[in-house]
Amino acid sequence: MTRYDRAETTARIFRAAVQEFAEHGIAGARVDRIAADADAGKALIYTYFGDKEALFAAVLRSRMTELAEAVVLRPDRVGEFVGDLFDFMTANPDVLRLVSQEALHLPPDAVPDFAERRDHYAGKTRAVAEAQAAGLVDPALEPSFVVLSLMGLVSWFVAAPQITRLVLDEPDGADLRRRYRQHLVEVARRMLTPGG
């Protein structure tokens, strides 16, 4: 008889839910598919997570926490932030898909963990303001706009690979990603440099 391991079962459910929500969104995701992919009972998912929306919120919370821990915007590395973000997003495209699904299905003020996530981005904005005070970033730029612009530089490459292919006219691969990452960091540095 196999010993039941709640942590392992929860991890399987979670992995299956990430894929299901990233692929089908909140409305299209099916708990029975998550259960089948996780080799877990549907009732168990409801027991552990509540309803489908609560499961989506848990998935999004976890993936956003991973992103926040992996990609830190420091005042002395504002330009490099975009490269770090590019690395994370290309390695974890489900994160941008989950955020896109959230945007399609929830009003901005109703997103899971709104206050905590807003505070997280406020920290990034403060880092840009600190970089401006240190003379590393053009003080004429609005710090919150800088944060949003840097995040936007990465989005299209990850969110719409077909557009990337059409514009660049070459298939995705390690060399393209290396060159594009280098380009992003250089664009960010030039965009942010005082008097640049």
Q: What does the pLDDT look like over 62-113, one tens digit per residue? A: 999 999 999 999 999 998 999 999 999 999 999 999 999 999 988 988 888 9
- Over 90: is that where the pLDDT of 181 sits? yes
Q: What is the DSSP string of 9-76?
A: HHHHHHHHHHHHHHHHHHHH--HHHHHHHHT--HHHHHHHH-SHHHHHHHHHHHHHHHHHHH----GG
8 A C-beta contact, residue 186 and residue 196: no
pLDDT score of 4: 62
Distances (CA, A) of 165 to 49, 91, 150, 154: 39, 18, 21, 15
Pick from 63, 131, 133, 123: nearest CA to 95: 63
User: What pLDDT is stored for residue 7 in this prediction?
Assistant: 87
pLDDT at 3: 54
Structural domains of the chain, ranges and CATH numbers in brackets:
1-59 (1.10.10.60), 71-196 (1.10.357.10)
* Confidence label for 1 from pLDDT (cuts 50, 70 and 90): very low
CA dist., res. 62 & res. 60, Å (int):
5
Look at the pTM and tell me if it is higher than 0.85: yes
Task: Evaluate whether 78 touches 137 at the Cβ level (below 8 Å).
Answer: yes
Residue 6 has a pLDDT of: 83
For residue 133, pLDDT over 90 is answered with yes
Residue range 137-163, pLDDT digits in tens = 999 999 999 999 999 999 999 999 999
Distance in angstroms (rounded) separating the CA atoms of residues 162 and 148: 23
* pLDDT tens, residue by residue, 6-60: 889 899 999 999 999 999 999 999 999 999 999 999 999 999 899 999 999 999 9
Compute the CA torsion angle 60, 161, 107, 13 (nearest 10 deg): -30
